[in-house]
A and B are shown apart, each in its own frame.
Chain A
Amino acid sequence: MAEAWCLASIRESVLSHEEAVAFVGDPGCGAIATFLGVTRDNFEGKAVSKLSYEAYVPMAEQEMRKLCEAAKAKWGVSKVAILHRIGDVPIGGASVIIAVSAPHRREALDACAFLIDDLKANVPIWKKESYDDGGDQWKQNNEFSHGGPREASVPSPRKE
Chain B
Amino acid sequence: PGPGQLLCFRREEMAAASEAATLRVRVLLFASAKELAGTGECEVELPEGSRSSDLRRALETRFLLLRECIHDTAIAVNQQYVAWDDDPLLSDRDEVAVIPPISGG
Contact of A126 with B102 in the complex, beta carbons under 8 Å: yes
A to B CB contacts below 8 Å, 27 in the list: A54-B30, A54-B31, A59-B76, A62-B79, A95-B105, A96-B104, A116-B105, A119-B105, A120-B102, A120-B105, A121-B102, A123-B104, A124-B97, A124-B102, A125-B105, A126-B31, A126-B100, A126-B102, A128-B31, A138-B32, A144-B74, A144-B101, A147-B83, A147-B85, A148-B81, A148-B82, A149-B102
Could you tell me the dominant secondary structure of chain B's interface residues?
A: mixed
Smallest CB gap from A120: residue in B: B105
Contact of B28 with A149 in the complex, beta carbons under 8 Å: no
**Which of B72, B81, B82 has the most chain A CB atoms closer than 10 A to its own CB?**
B81
Residues of B within 8 A of A37 (CB): 105
Residues of B within 8 A of A146 (CB): 72, 74, 101
Hey, what's the 0/1 contact readout for A28-66 against B, CB within 8 Å counting as 1?
A: 000000000100000000000000011110111010000
A56-B104 contact given A126-B31, A148-B74, A148-B81, CB 8 Å threshold: no
Residues of B within 8 A of A53 (CB): 104
Residue B99 at the A interface, CB < 8 A?
yes
Contact of A147 with B101 in the complex, beta carbons under 8 Å: no
Contact of B30 with A141 in the complex, beta carbons under 8 Å: no
**Tally of B interface residues using CB under 8 Å:** 22
Residues of A within 8 A of B83 (CB): 147-148
How far, in whole Å, are A120 and B103 apart by their CA atoms in the complex? Answer: 6
> When A and B form their complex, what is the total count of cross-chain residue pairs whose Cβ atoms lie within 8 Å?
88
How far, in whole Å, are A59 and B97 apart by their CA atoms in the complex? Answer: 10
Residues of B within 8 A of A79 (CB): none
**Which of A96, A116, A125, A147 has the most chain B CB atoms closer than 10 A to its own CB?**
A147
Contact of A149 with B105 in the complex, beta carbons under 8 Å: no
Smallest CB gap from A116: residue in B: B105
Residues of B within 8 A of A121 (CB): 102
Residue A127 at the B interface, CB < 8 A?
yes
How far, in whole Å, are A91 and B31 apart by their CA atoms in the complex? Answer: 21
Q: A15 CB to closest chain B CB, in angstroms?
A: 13
Smallest CB gap from A86: residue in B: B104
Q: A7 CB to closest chain B CB, in angstroms?
A: 16
Q: Knowing that A96-B105, A144-B101 are A-B contacts, what are 8 other residue pairs whose CB atoms are under 8 Å apart, sorted by A's residue number?
A: A56-B79, A84-B105, A95-B105, A124-B102, A126-B31, A127-B103, A141-B105, A147-B74
